[in-house]
Structure 1
Amino acid sequence: MTGKVNVTWRRHHQPFTLPFSSPGLKEHSYLSGTMTASSSRPSPRCLKPIPASQYNEVLDAAAIYIDGMRRGDLAYTSKGFRETATVYGYIEGKFQEGSIGLILDYMKTQKEPPIFTANLSVIGMTPSTAIVKCEMDMVSPEYEYTDFMSLAKVDGKWQIVAKVFHAYLDE
């Protein structure tokens, strides 16, 4: 069927109409807009939004890594990651890839735990997956990082399964 999509974007707060074609779609509410079309099929089932407590669980899981770094505690840092977690990123323009061993090896080379400020935010989340962004400003040693951590809920526990990062070192 063909119809129109009436959407109000949160950013602009201005409604506008888009044409669409979707077989079987009768009416479906999505974010702050409504899609309508004529059809005899039932509307798709809308899932309940993710409760705020789940966002906190995800942030708590990501914070284990951050707190472990702050403490200089390799064992504690490891608890935030799944054993098979992967790490990818750029340091001084060189692409790095490997296991969480890259992070732990870096921590071993540090004489003292780093001093830094970190800001964590959930970018997106489903009932079993999440993406967390971490902006980290290091005071000692002096450099900055942006991390994107992919988390999965495995056996009821949120864990980092992959980390992609960029280190801003004298670029």
Structure 2
Amino acid sequence: MRAPYQEYQAVEEAAMQFVKSVAEGNSQYARELFTDEAVLFGYLDGKLEHGSIEQFYHNVDTVAAGENFKARVDVLLLEETLAVVRVLEEGWGGRIDFTDVLLLLKMDGQWKCVAKAYNQNSDTVQK
């Protein structure tokens, strides 16, 4: 059975905390979304980032998104306690395009992100 529309809205709103943090260069909103144990995996300019979500917070707090930054949230999968969200980012830091995949679990009635994996579009990689 498909989840009710309001649940899709709740997942999208949760993921928008991620987008708001990136757009404003302030990890405060993402810290409300991610669990303390959340993990990060992806390649930034060809270098593997993996481990604690703290690295993502550091990136957000030290690189401004830029005035041309754009983002879109797509809820790809939604089950009773599990959601997969894709976030498309364009122009982060004035030059990088990302595709992020967020894995969310519903915990104590709230959607929380437990993992973030991402791809940096190859035409935006600086070597």
For 1:72, give the aligned amino acid: G
Cα distance in 2 between the residues matched to 1:50 and 1:107: 32
Q: Distance in 2 between matches of 1:82 and 1:121?
A: 21
Summarize the alignment of residues 32-51 of structure 1 with structure 2, pairs less than 5 Å apart. Answer: 48-51=1-4
Equivalent residues in 2 for 1:74-89, closer than 5 Å: 74-89=27-42
8 Å Cα contact 1:144/1:167 also seen in 2: yes
SS of the residue corresponding to residue 38 of structure 2 reads strand
Q: Would you say 1:106 and 2:35 are equivalent positions? A: no
Q: Which of 107, 112, 119 is 2:72 aligned to?
A: 119
Which one has the largest radius of gyration? 1
**Other structure's SS at 2:50 match:** strand
Report how far residue 158 of structure 1 moved.
0.2
Q: Are 2:125 and 1:170 aligned?
A: yes
Over the residues paired in the alignment, what is the CA RMSD in angstroms? 1.6
Match of 1:94 among 25, 35, 47: 47
Given that residues 65 and 79 in structure 1 are in contact (C-alpha distance below 8 angstroms), is that contact kept between their aligned partners in structure 2?
no
Q: Which protein has the bigger helix share?
A: 2
Structure 1: 4+ residue segments shifted above 3 A: 112-115
**What fraction of aligned residue pairs are identical, expressed as a percent?**
26
Q: 1:75 to 1:139 in 2, by over 3 A?
A: closer
| Unmatched 5+ stretches in structure 2 | none
Larger displacement relative to structure 2 (155-164 or 71-80): 71-80
- Normalised by the length of structure 1, the TM-score is 0.67
For residues 90 and 25 of structure 2, the distance between their equivalents in structure 1, rounded to whole angstroms, comes to: 16
Alpha-carbon deviation of 1:143?
Answer: 1.4
Preserved CA contact (<8 Å) 2:65 2:91: no
2:66, 2:107 → 1: CA distance? 30
Q: Give secondary structure in 1 for the equivalent of 2:39.
A: strand
In structure 2, distance between residues paired with 1:93 and 1:101: 19
TM-score by length of 2: 0.88
Q: In the alignment, is the contact (CA less than 8 A) between 2:25 and 2:62 conserved in 1?
A: no
Tell me by how many angstroms 1:140 deviates: 4.1
- Aligned match of 1:151: 104
